[in-house]
Structure 1
Amino acid sequence: MGSLQNEAHDEDPQVHPLHLTPYDALPNKKQVWPGEPNTREEGLGRLVLLTPDVVASAAATSIRSGRRVNLGWELNKLEIANFGRVPCRHEIVGILGGAAFDDVYTFNPQQSSQWDGLRHFSQPAPTESEPERRVFYGGVTSQEIMDLTNHRIGLQYWAKEGICGRGVLLDYVSYAEKRGIDYSTFSDHSVPLSVLLEIAQEENVTFKRGDILFVRMGVTKEWDTRMTSEDKNAYATTKTPRHAGVEGTEEMLRWLWDTGFSAVAGDAISFEVYPAKKSYPRGEGEPEVEGVFMHEYLLAGWGMPIGELFDLEALSAMCIKEQRWEFFVASAPFNMPGGVSSPPNCIAIF
């Protein structure tokens, strides 16, 4: 059984002190916005934890065998997506009289493997005059997002440096299979923090500041091997989609922050269980735990990238083969000024 190591609060002159402040000492847990508008610090959000020293250490300790695994699902999946998202269209166009060919892609990054950028999701920020007001990371407004001349908190900040560091996989699918836990990833099945910590111990995972957390729930496996065309159509057309994922609770938030993760990702459609639950049951006789919508904290509050619909099947197999659940991650988001989300273009290197 492995130990859990927390290096999240060491001093680092390259990182604003707010990023190293314990969760319970944060002046505003839902708005950790230390960067000035239109600066690298604001644009990177929680990715500032990926300092050169952190990345160099991750490469030196995690790359051993040289085996590599792609973490991106096929770009044309989900073939039928929910929320009215347009499926991917791929055209091959001949030029020079057929002597050469070009591609033409039309797609919504949210329909397949993607990083949610800081422009993707907002949090409530009501005022007396605007009770329905919402803002994005740093206080960015929807008007700023829709202004195509305004690139604040756009993808270009992530693209310039990439998302590179030590990845760790918590394989809930394997954990559940060993224990006979049967569930659909298109349900409100949720994974509590206690189970994630149990998986980490079984995998002998030790966490470090700057880690990129991956949680395997099994969405791509279920979509590819268990769902019929009718099942996929039913999901795409329902007005009340349900997604399995990690619990959305304050204890989960506290752990994600205090452990020092720079980003979180998984094969789940929303990483956390969706729709967000008002509460979660505990043991017999124990009170229920209040639920939170973590997207409002992670993206709009902390600037922490959320990866969704990553294909973690080959990664899981490689972790088992190597008998280690840590690896180096190299991800190159689209260099799109003002971009909202991007395919991860992500490789795990062992």
Structure 2
Amino acid sequence: MRLGGVDLTGNLLLAPMADVTNLAFRLMCKKYGASLSFTEMISSDAIVHGNEKSFLRGMTCEEERPFGIQLFGHCPETITSAALIIEEMFEPEIIDINLGCPSPTITNAGCGSALLLSPDVVSSIFASLCENVDTPVTAKIRILESMDQTLDIANRVEEAGACAITVHGRTREQGYQGSADHSYAKRIKEELSIPVIANGDVKDGESAESILEYTGCDGLMIGRAAMGDPHVFYRISKYLEHGELIEVSCERRRDDLLEYIRLLEKFDLVSHVNMKAHSQWFTRGLKDSRSVRMGMGNADSHSSLIECIRNMCRDVQA
């Protein structure tokens, strides 16, 4: 799949996720086949005001490329100023604008999915970006209950000059509940000429194949299914290529978690993540893993958490 000026090796993308998609995690997903990864969303206001933590989220390395940085905001001028700073500092292959976050903290500030109710502002944001920034620009949206209003947003994004759009098939009100409605991505793909990427409920090879066939979309974006399981990219790609079903073992999860922690340490990110929560994600779906999660939760030091992880497969089964 070609996105902007980049020929991607595949069509499986890692979604930007707050407090999840740090550099170490993105590298793990890249290792297993994510063809493009995105940072967690970064406040355009924070970038313009020089917030150090926000710049840390944009940190990358050559092994990760290509990668994208996702910005959120509501003011076209501020978003453009932030994008120009990001472009100069990190040289991302893609700058993505968040039109989908349903968090009240974000929407109450007029950002994220709240922007879907202000189509003229959306047009202004993307027109300003595409006129002033050299980096290709994309959008990640949620759907509105009205198909016509959703199509209007998608068309405005394309007309302003964006090179692709990702469609999460849930409304702002749904949050992450219920099922994603991919009929919106299907219609948007039928109307737009730029690549359209479907997002929502991509859990495994079967769901990935079904969504691609139904929507006709160019690619898939994977979010929550990758939390604690970066290997999911490998399993989905193998299924799409050969119909091959691959089971994930406890040993694989353990080794991936230990490698993830080594990367966190390498890039000095340990203090910036909730280590217990991130470790517990890697036990999801494993049989008899409750005691392991409890052990991780009760660990009173980094070394004791590591010891718990090394021993996690003694009583756990895939």
Give TM-score, length-normalised by structure 1.
0.21
Comparing both chains, which one has the higher relative contact order based on Cα–Cα distances under 8 Å and sequence gaps of 6 or more? Answer: 1
Give the structure with the larger helix fraction.
2
Give the structure with the larger strand fraction.
1
